[in-house]
Amino acid sequence: MDIVANLNKVKHEIPDHVQLVAVSKTKPADMVQALYEAGHLDFGENRVQDLIGKYEALPKEIRWHLIGHLQTNKVKYIARFVHLVHGVDSMKLLAAIDKEGRKNNRKINCLLQMNISKEETKFGFSEDELMQMLHSEDFNSMSFANIQGVMGMATFTDDSETVRKEFQNLKRIFDELKKGHFESKTDFSIVSMGMSADFKVAIEEGSNMIRVGSSIFGPRILQK
Ligand SMILES: *Cc1c(COP(=O)(O)O)cnc(C)c1O
């Protein structure tokens, strides 16, 4: 399989304003190296351990995205290098990110993960939880957790209308946040939505960052 050709195919299918995060989870570092040599810099992993391993092994110019669920006690391992944390889903986690950012004297970029799907198992804030947090003192006293936008995952289904509605909902939440809370924050600009199966719909509905794994790297063996 020619993963460079796959990468270029996806790139040709998306407009210039959409950033592509190549999701390399479960795949070996030499595959990442091959795409890096072809000029790609943004890669996503969903486990802290794998993220650290690949960070250590690969060129430091690579921008590492943590796309999976992050446990509060693991923030310290990635704080010095992570480029963007996509899955921030609690004030507790944001506070940990802020604290580790302060220790490293480095702003840590993050996205607020919103629960837009019907699936019980998906992580993310409800709108009520989010509003509550935005008005809390803890939230407003942070200075190292740098919120750049929102992230969400649609329901795993063949029904593209359901998926489309969920993406529309996430875009609406982003627009409302931008207007109501982050209007003067110019880097609050990211809508991370869309994966291999649904990135075209996501882009039609306003995504400007997609996270694509299997369409580039091929199918994954199931993770535990
Ligand atoms: C695995 C994963 C992806 C990529 O999924 P593909 O279907 O392989 O493109 C995107 N986002 C998250 C959060 C993931 O865990």
Residues 20-33 have pLDDT tens digits of 999 999 999 999 99
- Under 8 Å CB-to-CB from 170, ≥6 apart: which residues? 114, 116, 150, 152, 191, 193, 205
pLDDT at 224 over 70: no
211 CB near ligand 1 (under 6 Å): yes
Q: Which of 38-42, 143-147, 219-223 has the lowest mean pLDDT?
A: 219-223
* Binding site membership of 152 for ligand 1 (Cβ less than 6 Å): no
| Position in ligand 1 atom list of the atom nearest CA 211 | 10
> What is the distance between the alpha carbons of residues 217 and 26, in angstroms, rounded to a whole number?
10
63 in helix, strand or coil?
A: strand
Strands (E), 28-154: 42-45, 63-66, 84-88, 108-114, 145-152
Task: Using CA atoms of 136, 73, 152, 178 in order, give the dihedral in degrees to the nearest 10.
Answer: 30
State pTM to two decimals.
0.96
**Number of helical (H) and strand (E) elements in the chain, helices listed first:** 10, 8
Nearest CA to ligand 1 atom 11: 211
Dump pLDDT digits (tens) for 117-140.
Answer: 987 766 899 999 999 999 999 999
Rounded Cα distance between 169 and 115, Å, is: 10
Q: For the chain, what is the radius of gyration of the CA atoms?
A: 17
